[in-house]
A and B are shown apart, each in its own frame.
Chain A
Amino acid sequence: MQKFSAPGQFIYELLPSTVAGLGHDEDQFVIEIRSKESKAADSNQHHVKVQRRDGKLIADPPRLQIEAGDVVVWNTPDSSVAGYVVRGEGKTGRFSSDAMQKEAIYSHSFGIPGIYYWLDPHGGPSNGVIEVQPVDASDEQAATQWREKLAEGTVILVSDKKVTPAKVKILIGQTVFWAIEKASGIAIVDARLINKPSESKSKKTETRPKK
């Protein structure tokens, strides 16, 4: 998710995580930001669906018109679409989901219990722990309670080098939001993927990233 606070236009690409940064030839998509007209206190949220078509990642809709202060959410409902990076540039700045700098959010729903250590693969100081607790929803009451809990999200605020809270405890299926207020370009990655065995204690991991 990315908030666009100033009017302007951004051209962006959707890059498979494995080739991001390798000059891959991908389609380009547009976000046009106009001055805020409505006086509503809350910003609007716009959803962009990421799909795979003819071997390329496609944004639907390819062109988005929003107001300053609105938030754009990139999401794929297709589990066959692997991890991807959203990277854009405009006259007023640039944004990238693998190097978040300000007013950006990364969210992840945890589907397998365990203890997950996360960090910034760019070497920044931000890191933390997420404990995902199992649930037995075999009886109807437990299942109903668990489903209600799934609608509750947890927010981790990242501002410069400060992470609040650094340790989080959630139930399986719940969603964590990393909200980047200010950073030098941060990504959120499972520490196991960076081969740091001293920080790796989780069981299995899963990937259902949303941006």
Chain B
Amino acid sequence: MPDIIVAADETAATKLIHDAETTLGTISAPPGSGTLGPFSATWSADASFSGGAVDLIAPNIIRIANCQFHYHVSFGFSIDLNSFLPHFCLPQVCVRIPFIGRVCTPRICISWPTIPLPTINYSDLINFTADFTLNVQLVSGVWKVDVVIVGIPFLQLSPAATAILALIGGTVAAAVAWVPFIGPLLAGLVIAVTAAIGIAGLTGFLGPLLTPFVSGLSFNIYSQPQVFEALPAAGPIDPAVNINLDLITASVQSTDEDELVLTADISP
């Protein structure tokens, strides 16, 4: 029989999870690079979690429904306009001038530049539902009870991909507007660039970028030093009273209601 038993119903468990999400704070992934359609892009991303409804399922599952995954991605790439724009030359232009005669300009062909796009920033949130399992471990003298995600939840990225594609199109248009003679070709350029990336390309880009945030996701719901002071020292002949937490277990139990139950075996 354990020495201490603590139980939390689904309402209390929800509070525990939400507090743990807040404590986890914002996670930043190290900057990296990847393929975005035909482009090589550099990127950075960070994320945080909030909300969700907790469903306790015996013996060991905590299901969080509609957990909010808040993320922010920044990425940038360059476009060699020669890859997307047609070969363009100003034709020879001839005019007749009364006191000179017929004069003509030479034919001049345009070499389109390579344009680095300004960094594209996008923030959004995804709701996902996932099962978490309870994991209890003693780490460096501290008991930790974590809820750890089971598997990798499906992240619906299509809406974000669509929005980002539109953002890229707008960024391209603004970034190249200064290029002489590009005006009549601008609409076609934007279509060509966004088509080259495509929704699938963006989804393929976002997936590896965001999945690591949820793969192996865990929230710490309880943390306690193995040896803790139950009573402070009251004097030189009245030392502090310490309690050892010899063992902690965690489980979900279903009696008259579903509860998250923590038990502890203690010794002096």
Contact = CB atoms under 8 A, between A and B. Distances in A.
Given A136-B184, A153-B95, A175 B103 contact: no
B106 A73 contact: yes
Interface stretch (A12-20, A86-94, A106-114, A192-200): A106-114
B184 A134 contact: yes
B142 interface: no
A105 B100 contact: yes
Nearest to B187: A138
Contact of B104 (A45, A135, A174, A206): A45
Interface in A140-179: 142-143, 146-147, 150-155, 157, 172-175, 177, 179
Contacts of B185: 137-138
B109 A105 contact: no
Contact of A206 (B91, B97, B180): B180
Contacts of B94: 151, 153
B152 interface: no
Contacts of A79: 111
B103 A113 contact: no
Contacts of B90: 109, 150, 173, 175
B101 A112 contact: no
Given A137-B184, A151-B91, A42 B105 contact: no
Given A45-B104, A112-B178, A177 B183 contact: no
Nearest to A143: B184
Interface in B153-186: 177-185
Residue of B91, B100, B180, B183 with most partner-chain A CB within 10 A: B100
A60 interface: no
Nearest to B102: A42
Given A153-B94, A179-B97, A73 B103 contact: yes
Interface string A114-141: 0000000000000000000011111000
Contacts of B99: 103, 179, 181
B93 interface: yes
B19 to A, nearest CB: 54
Given A150-B91, A175-B90, A177-B97, A135 B103 contact: no
Contacts of A157: 97-98
Contacts of A69: 101
Given A71-B100, A109-B90, A177-B103, A155 B95 contact: yes
Interface of A: 1, 3, 41-43, 45, 47, 69, 71, 73, 75, 77, 79, 103, 105, 107, 109, 111-113, 134-138, 142-143, 146-147, 150-155, 157, 172-175, 177, 179, 181, 204, 206, 208, 210
23 contacts: A1-B103, A43-B100, A43-B102, A73-B103, A77-B109, A79-B111, A109-B105, A109-B181, A111-B182, A113-B183, A135-B183, A137-B185, A138-B187, A138-B188, A147-B91, A150-B90, A151-B94, A155-B95, A173-B184, A177-B103, A179-B99, A210-B105, A210-B106
